[in-house]
Structure formats: structure tokens, C-alpha cells
A and B are shown apart, each in its own frame.
Chain A
Amino acid sequence: MTSPAHDIVSGALVFTGERSRLGYRLNRMAMSLTQPANRAAFQADEAAYMRAMGLDDVEIDRVLRRDWKAMLDNGGSIYLLLKIAGSVGHTLQQVGAHTGGITPEALAERNKKA
């Protein structure tokens, strides 16, 4: 599913109700990771945990591949993606850079130019 172009501002997706609906299962799974016991279960077997949370194979695969851009494009909220990132040891910079198609190093350079 593609994103409606009118909800893009300066190359960034606006998190609308439509996107929230699209990404609901992924975001719900990510929200569950605010509980330490759930983080441990997720880290022990990511695919099994996500399957139990009702995600389908395509959604699970995006997480396993750390495809942050695909997660975002398919309704992931940046704030929920950061909870998945925290559980798998990725940083805000890694997630953000991936969604922008640049390296974390390039993002760090961009930040310095503020």
C-alpha cells in the first residue's frame, strides 16, 4: 500500500489516522515492549513473539530485516519504531538515517551543520 502524497511534508510522512490504522498491529506490538518482561520475550524469539502478537509474515520480516523505512512506510509511528529499536540495540540515528536513505555518519554530519 502506498502513502497518500498529500500527507507528505518536506519528504516526511505525516502520521495520520489512516497510517495509524495501517500500522496498528506493528505499533501495538511495539507498545508492548514498554514492559520489561515483554522485551525479554521478544529478544528471546522475535518472530514467535510477533506472531503471537498477531503480525503477519510480511510485517515480521520487516522487523527481522530492521527495515525501518518499510515499517514507517506501512504505518509505523516513529515513536513506536524507537521502542523496537531499543529492544534490538539500534539508535534513533540509525532508524532516522535508514528512513532517509542515508548512513548514520551522513546524518551526524547533517546535524553538525545546524
Chain B
Amino acid sequence: MAQIVGGIGSSHAPSIGSAWDKGLLQDPLWRPVFDGYAAARAWLAEQKPDLFVIVYNDHANRFFFDAYPTFALGVGDLHAQADEGYGKRDLPDLKGDPDFAWHIARSLVEDEFDPTICQEMTLDHGVLSFLPALADLAVPVIPLAVNVIQHPIPTARRLYRLGLALRRAIQTGPADRRVVVMGTGGLSHQLHGTQVGRFNAAWDNEFLDLLESDPERLAALPHRDWMERGGTEGVEMIMWLAMRGAMGPNPTRAFRNYQVPMTTGYGLLALNPDQVAVQPPST
């Protein structure tokens, strides 16, 4: 019987991966960020996970706008690293979990989510920027990519419901697994335009509060509100709602960190899931 043993919300940004590769763990700018990952890493190891389900977005690396899926699930044996346009980093390919992933595919489709099912998935910084700092890269990964870069994109509520559906899918899984669900992206950042470089630390912290205490309020926010508060790229914060949905009604916080050193508001949140029984599919 598979069980959900934890949830992680994390920012993703090329700069985290680059700083990790350069070994900037003690750099004054980066130390508060990496100290946060070290603490979360210790908590994560205690949960003894043997499968990660990671909800993230591809930044036009695996997919291009010739055919850009709204949801895409990686069901392969191995997930290679994508070349994002400046060469690959020195990282191993990540293992998949095909039987479990195909079960998730079936369960999601029964639950009226219809991902593009990918036997070949390459991963970009949406997964690989923060993961080396957080986790053992030998743990198998089932990646679930979400379109948050070409509008129309799914609503915040759709992501929350995706998390509820993932919870059902994982808890009915075909093998004994200890699963950690991750949602990645954000936090506030603006990569272009007249307000390029703006942050919104107040909103980021409100978001982290509400994600724990009142995800329904976040689920009700229209995209324009997310973008006005957290930037046009900051809308990717909605993917954390999928992690939150998978945690059940009343998760408890294990760890939280927030830093604003560079391009992006860097958030990190670890949740202990609510251990309520499996719910029937919503109608």
C-alpha cells in the first residue's frame, strides 16, 4: 500500500542550480537559501521516501509551442536532463517508476484529468535546479509538467483539484511506496517589462501562510491577481496548490524558509500530510 509521507513546496530557478554547481553553500548571498535546503533535506531523509511525484513546469525545453501540453506525465524508466541552450550540467539522469506512473495516469484520467503521457521526458531546471540541494537523486521521480508559460493556462483551482486527484491516485498505488509530493515554482519574480526585477515579499509570505491554512482562498484567485502580486512569471506559484491538495485537509508544517537574494523570491515549505483515509472521486 502506497502512502504519502510528505509534501515539499520549492522555488525553482536556474540560479539555484548554478550556485549549487559552483559550491556557493557558504556564500553570504546563498547561505540562507542552502541552509534552508539542508534543514529540509534532513527532514526529508527522515521520511524515508522512495518515490517523488513532482509537479513543475517545463520552460520550453522538453516541449515547444508546436504542441504544448497543459498537463504531461512522465512514465518512462529514466528521465534525461534537457539542454536548455547552454549545455548540460553534471547531473545523473533521474530514475522513473513506470508501473506506478501508469497507475497515476489511469487514476487521473478516471478522475477527469487527462495528461499527455510521455514515455520519454527530459527535465529542465523546473526539477533539476533545487532537487540536488534537497534530495538524494537516486530516488525515482514521476514528473508532472504543467503549462504555466503560454496562456491560456489552467486555473489555480484546477491545480488544487489536481492535487486532490493525485492524493487518490497515490493512495491506491500498485506498490508499497513512501511518496513525497512536490510543487515547484516562483515565488514572486518579474523577468521582463517596465517593472523587471520586482519582488513582493509580503505577497510571498501571505501565500505561504494561506497555502497551509486556507488553500481554498488561493484556489479562488484569478490569474490576473497572481500576476499583479507576483509578476507575470510568478503565476507559476499556482503549482504549489497541487502539492497542497495532495496533503489532505489538515497537514502540519515541518519546515519553512523564505529568502529574497536575487532574481526570485525563494520559498521552501515542508508539510506533514493529513493521514485521513482515501476519499472517493469527486463528481
- By a beta-carbon cutoff of 8 Å, the part of chain A in contact with chain B is 8-17, 20, 24, 27-28, 30-31, 33-36, 39, 72, 77-80, 82-83, 86-87, 92-93, 95-97, 99-102, 107, 110-111, 114
Q: How many residues of B contact A (CB 8 A)?
A: 39
Q: How far is the CA of A34 from the CA of B87 in the complex (A)?
A: 8
Contact indicator per residue, chain B 228-245, by CB within 8 Å of chain A (1) or not (0): 100111000000000000
Q: How far is the CA of A97 from the CA of B266 in the complex (A)?
A: 21
The answer on a CB contact under 8 Å between B193 and A12 is yes
B282 at the A interface (CB under 8 A): no
Query: Given contacts A72-B192, A92-B263, A96-B197, could you give 5 more A-B pairs where the C-beta distance is less than 8 Å?
Result: A12-B231, A34-B61, A83-B84, A92-B191, A102-B196
B82 at the A interface (CB under 8 A): yes
The answer on a CB contact under 8 Å between B85 and A100 is no
The answer on a CB contact under 8 Å between A28 and B66 is yes
Residues of A within 8 A of B85 (CB): 30, 33-34, 39, 82-83, 86-87
Nearest B residue to A97 via CB reads: B196
Residues of B within 8 A of A82 (CB): 85
The answer on a CB contact under 8 Å between A99 and B196 is yes
Nearest B residue to A8 via CB reads: B193
> What are some 20 contacts across the A-B interface (CB < 8 A)?
A11-B194, A12-B196, A12-B227, A14-B227, A15-B232, A17-B152, A28-B65, A34-B84, A39-B85, A78-B192, A78-B233, A92-B191, A95-B191, A95-B192, A97-B197, A100-B196, A101-B194, A107-B197, A114-B201, A114-B265
B41 at the A interface (CB under 8 A): no
Q: Is the interface of A mostly helix, strand, loop or mixed?
A: helix
Residues of A within 8 A of B228 (CB): 9-10
Contact indicator per residue, chain B 185-201, by CB within 8 Å of chain A (1) or not (0): 00000111111111101
B214 at the A interface (CB under 8 A): no
Q: Is the interface of B mostly helix, strand, loop or mixed?
A: loop
- B131 to A: closest C-beta gap in Å: 20
The answer on a CB contact under 8 Å between B193 and A100 is yes
B150 at the A interface (CB under 8 A): yes
Nearest A residue to B194 via CB reads: A11
Given known A77-B60, A111-B262, A114-B199, contact A15–B149 (CB-CB < 8 A): yes
- B238 to A: closest C-beta gap in Å: 14
The answer on a CB contact under 8 Å between A107 and B196 is yes
Q: How far is the CA of A18 from the CA of B87 in the complex (A)?
A: 31
Nearest A residue to B233 via CB reads: A78
The answer on a CB contact under 8 Å between A10 and B196 is no
Q: How far is the CA of A114 from the CA of B130 in the complex (A)?
A: 21
A-B pairs with lowest CB-CB distance, top 7: A12-B193, A11-B194, A83-B85, A100-B196, A114-B260, A86-B86, A99-B192
Q: Which of B66, B150, B265 contacts A17 (CB 8 A)?
A: B150
Interface centre among A34, A36, A92 (most CB of B within 10 A): A34
Residues of A within 8 A of B201 (CB): 114
The answer on a CB contact under 8 Å between B194 and A20 is no
Q: How far is the CA of A34 from the CA of B197 in the complex (A)?
A: 26
The answer on a CB contact under 8 Å between B64 and A31 is yes
The answer on a CB contact under 8 Å between A13 and B60 is no
